Structure 1
Amino acid sequence: MSAAVLLTRSDADNQRLASKLARFGIPALSVPLLRIDALDETPDQQRLMLDIDRYQAVMVVSPVAARLGLERLDACWPQLPEGIEWFAVGETTASVLRAYGMPVHTPEAGQDSEALLRLPIWNELLARPGLKVLVWRGVGGREHLADHVRAAGGQVDYLELYRRESPDGLAAALASAEQAGARGIVLTSGQGLEHWYTAAGEHWREQSTWRCWVPSQRVADRAQTLGCNDIIVCDGADDSAVLAAVAAHPLTR
């Protein structure tokens, strides 16, 4: 039985990446670690969208946030509001926004808020009095960008569009993947890591020996704390970053 890489995004995303890995002769399995539940729009959230032209910048943190946010934007704005700088965390997220017709800022290196803040345009934005930034995201998340904006006297608001839950039957799916030859796992978030750790249960001793491809040093540090010791840090979480890292560090068993 050849060793396989376990992909952990949605089934559709996993199938797309699996076909790319197959070109390198790398077998892959699919077990989503997150179930995405879209949230109903509240009156406060609708006001945020109706008043989106009051923001100088909008940051979109994921392809899911982009798709759900654009659905709401389309219902409120027949044309794109002007005067907004759009930012995307990762090229996959940026491609969703560009397909809608938006000019998007995204870093060439790195796929997190730290990389976004290194873009030169933030020097100008953070110098503006009364800067207002809106973040499209799921429930919860890191506050790195918000801390920087607030430290400069600006305001950050959140449009929370979805909730990430652990899928039903995850423990059994992980055990089946292990039986089918999974010996490595691609993680795209810290929350996915936590879901894996919890669901693995009594199998964690074996699964923690798998090679882990992670999107950032922050997730790598947490994985190491949980007992993982074969960790590869990718340059982000999108297909190109994962493909490059898995191809450069393939499984050998």
Structure 2
Amino acid sequence: MTGWRLLLTRPADESAALSGVLAGQGIFSSSLPLLDIVPIPVSDTMREVIRNVARYCAVIVVSKPAARIGIDLLDGFWPQSPSTKWFSVGAATAQILEGHGLDVSFPAEGDDSEALLELAALREAIARPDPRVLILRGEGGRELLAERLRALGARVEYLELYRRDLPHYPPAALPGRIEAERLNGLVVSSGQGFEHLHQLAGDAWPRLARLPLFVPSPRVAELARAAGAQTVVDCRGASAAALLTALREHPEPVL
């Protein structure tokens, strides 16, 4: 896989961790974070939801930032872990929650909404009269998860804990980085990450759209194709392992 030269667009700390994993496999990467995680100020509504979190039959945490911010809120109201079922979309998010003493279920195969919806433990948790589910997330996202849960009879509520801002870059920063470092693949970890990539590309997008684009889910793949991306690879997850599997399965570019 050493022919790949990838642009990473996750928040800076996550890009650094992913870059280290890729380097261990002989893969060059360059980081241009396209998401700044900005916590939403804590409101009375947020406090009320956390204070009463035990009323939900399932709490789903969809990202690492949601796990970290959610735990900080829990600490203010729950000296002991609340008696509710916890779920995460991926193993990395689960690890953060488990470090806080929570018992978390997550899919062993795949780290996306589709895999979580097939999880037997989640189906069991909502198999009760009038099930209520809470999703901890950033602003927007994971609509498919809520839609499917509602179709299964659950009442779904969101607790939005952060927003994802686009860091400020000069207009030519993205195409300039790709050209200067001879990058031949793009990696995004969310729909908003792709939207920021598309926005920052500007007039250079038709050229960048020809590069292989690695995305975490069918939803983001559909978004990218609709915007004109020509070679979209669905990694079926945002983890380093999912990306490495996709890189092995996709033909290496010819340098």
TM range (shorter): over 0.9
Q: Deviations over 1:139-185 (max 9, x none)?
A: 11233332333344432221110011221116433133112222211
Per the alignment, residue 252 of structure 1 pairs with 254
Contact conserved, 2:58 with 2:126, CA < 8 A, in 1?
no
CA spacing shift, 1:243–1:168, aligned 2, 3 Å: same
Larger deviation: 31-40 or 110-119? Answer: 110-119
Larger deviation: 110-119 or 204-213? Answer: 110-119
Per the alignment, residue 173 of structure 2 pairs with 173
The alpha-carbon deviation at position 126 of structure 1 amounts to 3.0
Query: Does 2:73 align with 1:72?
Result: yes
AA aligned to 2:220 is V
Give the whole-Å Cα distance in 2 for the aligned partners of 1:61 and 1:219.
Answer: 15
Per the alignment, residue 140 of structure 1 pairs with 140
Q: Deviations over 1:85-113 (max 9, x none)?
A: 11101111111111112221111222222
Contact conserved, 1:53 with 1:81, CA < 8 A, in 2?
yes
The alpha-carbon deviation at position 233 of structure 1 amounts to 1.3
AA aligned to 1:115 is A
Give the whole-Å Cα distance in 2 for the aligned partners of 1:252 and 1:171.
Answer: 29
What runs of 5+ residues in structure 1 fail to find an aligned partner? none
- State the superposition RMSD in angstroms: 1.7
AA aligned to 2:53 is I
AA aligned to 1:103 is D
Give the whole-Å Cα distance in 1 for the aligned partners of 2:149 and 2:20.
Answer: 40
Contact conserved, 2:57 with 2:126, CA < 8 A, in 1?
no
Larger deviation: 6-15 or 38-47? Answer: 6-15
Larger deviation: 150-159 or 210-219? Answer: 150-159
AA aligned to 1:95 is Q
Contact conserved, 1:61 with 1:135, CA < 8 A, in 2?
yes
Give the whole-Å Cα distance in 1 for the aligned partners of 2:64 and 2:194.
Answer: 19
Give the whole-Å Cα distance in 2 for the aligned partners of 1:209 and 1:167.
Answer: 24
AA aligned to 1:21 is L
Per the alignment, residue 205 of structure 2 pairs with 204
Per the alignment, residue 37 of structure 2 pairs with 36
Per the alignment, residue 103 of structure 2 pairs with 103
Give the whole-Å Cα distance in 2 for the aligned partners of 1:85 and 1:102.
Answer: 9
TM-score by length of structure 2 reads 0.92
Q: Secondary structure at the match of 2:59?
A: strand
The alpha-carbon deviation at position 3 of structure 1 amounts to 5.8
Contact conserved, 2:57 with 2:85, CA < 8 A, in 1?
yes
TM-score by length of structure 1 reads 0.92
TM alignment of 1:117-128, pairs within 5 A: 117-128=117-128
Q: Deviations over 1:53-111 (max 9, x none)?
A: 111110000001000100110111111012x1111011111111111122211112222
TM alignment of 1:19-98, pairs within 5 A: 19-82=20-83, 84-98=84-98
CA spacing shift, 1:129–1:220, aligned 2, 3 Å: same
Larger deviation: 50-59 or 231-240? Answer: 231-240
The alpha-carbon deviation at position 122 of structure 1 amounts to 3.2
Q: Secondary structure at the match of 1:147?
A: helix
Contact conserved, 2:131 with 2:153, CA < 8 A, in 1?
yes
Larger deviation: 170-179 or 133-142? Answer: 170-179
The alpha-carbon deviation at position 45 of structure 1 amounts to 0.7
Contact conserved, 1:3 with 1:181, CA < 8 A, in 2?
no
Give the whole-Å Cα distance in 2 for the aligned partners of 1:196 and 1:144.
Answer: 22
What runs of 5+ residues in structure 2 fail to find an aligned partner? none
The alpha-carbon deviation at position 136 of structure 1 amounts to 0.4
How many residues get paired?
251
Runs (4+) off by over 4 Å: none
